[in-house]
Amino acid sequence: MSGGLVKQEFMMLKHLGVVAAAVTAFGVSAAQAGDLVDGKKGLGFTSAIGGPAGLAFDYGTGNLAIEGILGIDYFSPKDGDASKKIVLGAGAHFMALRAEKAAFSVGGRLNLGTGTAVDDAMNFGLDIPMRVYWFADEHVSLHVEGGIAIKMIGDKGSVFSAASEGTEMNIVSPITGLGMTFWW
């Protein structure tokens, strides 16, 4: 139950962030996606297809957006033991197609997660995300991602999903990753 409550709270915050970004887009000027990430830094929130969700740090160089993700979940029930989870993701997204206010990228990401909610489990994963970016203006972008996610799960269970020991693979997973980035 504790993991479900934390997940519900994150989903609510994620949806509020997307709505807030969409509202700000109504009064902005046209952006050029080709020049928006080159040489810029980004800070935002993201939910990756392979599991990591949290604060995202980005750096754009040419057609490449380099990204790091840090997510921390902590739940302390009134009765019982507290649970915590730390997830990390590191990868890059190549902007293969770009338009005036949009871009399509293909990338790669390595994921690492650990947590006490599932008996001190440590998991590794590899994503091949395909993202669609929409640039509301030169400083704000929203994205959705789908793609291939591979998770290696030890005998203590998964930090990233409800799967048990083994390998979990989502090929052409549905669009589940949402995010927003502020670029400067």
Residue 26 three-state SS = helix
Q: Where are the alpha helices (H) located in 110-173, listed in sequence order?
A: none
Global pTM reads 0.75
pLDDT in tens, 7-64: 555 555 555 454 444 444 443 344 455 577 889 999 999 988 887 889 999 999 988 9
pLDDT in tens, 73-118: 888 877 777 778 889 999 999 999 988 889 999 999 999 988 876 5
What are the structural domains of the chain?
2-183 (2.40.160)
